[in-house]
């Protein structure tokens, strides 16, 4: 098996994990959990989101390594011009991926850090009034986290579509 095939496989697995995980979370998990009140769904919601975000970090690492290798092969070894159709599509893809990384960073370092702080405070069994404030803070941030995930999912699907256009000239 060639290095190119290995890098493509790694890249494909990274895309499946990140984009597929967002789709699972939004389409399967969220509607299922939404029928319960936050205190009942939080013990499942927090670990699932934490694990998904850790998997996403792993995927991003693999995507950056394999994607960099593939870009070097396209632009250097195959001598593709940046102003060619393929070069322009790849640059557009890079801009979209950059936006995805920014949104993910905002979700992780902004919302998830705060979510984790409130969740851990609830594990310490605070007084009812304090617990209600933590639950409310989590409830307030969940729609924004969902919207960021939805935006990233749409961008991820557009990236896949752009790559298919680049590969097959659509």
Give the pLDDT confidence score for residue 159 in this predicted structure: 94
> What percent of the chain is predicted at pLDDT more than 90?
75
Q: Where are the domains of the chain?
A: 3-168
Q: Tokens 């939080």 belong to which residue?
A: 42
Q: What angle do CA 119, 121, 123 make, to 5 degrees?
A: 75
If phi over 0 gives left and psi between -120 and 50 gives alpha, with beta otherwise, what is residue 96? alpha
Torsion angle of C-alpha atoms 52, 36, 147, 113, degrees rounded to 10: -50
Give the pLDDT confidence score for residue 170 in this predicted structure: 52
Rg (CA), the chain: 19
Contact 96, 162 (CB under 8 A): yes
- C-alpha dihedral sign at 38, 43, 44, 46: positive
Give the pLDDT confidence score for residue 24 in this predicted structure: 94
| Structure-block tokens of residue 133 | 């404030």
Torsion angle of C-alpha atoms 82, 86, 91, 96, degrees rounded to 10: 170
Low-confidence ranges of the chain (pLDDT < 70): 170
| Structure-block tokens of residue 75 | 């632009």
| Structure-block tokens of residue 49 | 């989101």
């Amino acid at each position: 098996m060639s290095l190119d095939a290995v890098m493509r496989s790694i890249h494909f697995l990274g895309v499946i994990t990140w984009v597929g995980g967002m789709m699972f979370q939004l389409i399967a998990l969220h509607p299922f959990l939404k029928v319960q009140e936050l205190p009942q769904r939080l013990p499942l919601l927090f670990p699932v989101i934490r694990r998904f975000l850790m998997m996403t970090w792993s995927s991003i690492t693999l995507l950056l390594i394999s994607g960099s290798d593939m870009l070097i092969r396209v632009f250097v070894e195959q001598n593709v011009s940046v102003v060619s159709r393929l070069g322009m599509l790849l640059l557009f893809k890079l801009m979209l991926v950059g936006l995805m990384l920014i949104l993910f960073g905002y979700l992780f370092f902004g919302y998830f850090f705060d979510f984790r702080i409130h969740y851990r405070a609830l594990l310490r069994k605070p007084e009812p009034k304090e617990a209600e404030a933590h639950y409310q803070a989590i409830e307030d941030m969940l729609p924004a986290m969902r919207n960021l995930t939805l935006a990233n999912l749409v961008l991820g699907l557009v990236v896949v579509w752009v790559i298919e256009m680049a590969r097959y000239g659509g």
